[in-house]
Amino acid sequence: MAVLTVDNVSFSYVAGIPTLRNVSLAVHRGEFLTLVGPNGSGKSTLLKILDRIFLPDEGNIALDGTPLATFTRADIARKMAYVPQDREGVFPFTVEEIVLMGRAPHTAGMVFEGEGDREVARKMMGLTDIGHLASHPVTNLSGGERQRAFIARALAQQPEVLLLDEPTAHLDIAHQVDIFRLLRSLSVDTGLTVVSVTHDLNLAAMYSDRIAMLQCGTIAAAGTPSEVLTVDRIRDVFRAEVVVDLHPAATAPRVTVLR
Ligand code: ADP
Ligand code: MG
Q: Are 102 and 124 spatial neighbours (Cβ–Cβ below 8 Å)?
A: yes
Task: Evaluate whether 76 touches 163 at the Cβ level (below 8 Å).
Answer: no
DSSP state of 139: G
Mutation probe of ligand 1 site: the residue of 21, 23, 36, 44 with most atoms within 8 A of C-beta: 44
Which atom of ligand 1 lies at the shortest distance from residue 48's CA? 6
Q: Show pLDDT as tens, one digit a residue, over the chain (259 residues).
A: 799 999 999 999 999 999 999 999 999 999 999 999 999 999 999 999 999 999 999 999 999 999 999 999 999 999 999 999 876 667 889 999 999 999 988 886 666 678 899 999 999 999 999 999 999 999 999 888 998 999 999 999 999 999 999 999 888 999 999 999 999 999 999 999 999 999 999 999 999 999 999 999 999 999 999 999 999 999 999 999 999 999 988 889 999 999 7
Rounded to 5°, angle at Cα 166 from 164 and 172: 120
Residue nearest to atom 19 of ligand 1 (CA): 45
For ligand 1, what atom is nearest to the CA of residue 217? 10
- Give me ligand 2 centre to Cα 35, in Å: 10
Half-sphere exposure of 212 (CA within 13 A, CB side): 23
Cα of 220 from ligand 2 centre, angstroms: 17
What is the C-alpha to C-alpha distance for residues 80 and 68, in angstroms, rounded to an integer?
Answer: 11
All domains in the chain, ordered by first residue: 2-89+159-257 (3.40.50.300)
Residues with CB under 6 A from ligand 1: 13-14, 19, 37, 39-45
Cβ–Cβ < 8 Å for 207, 253: no
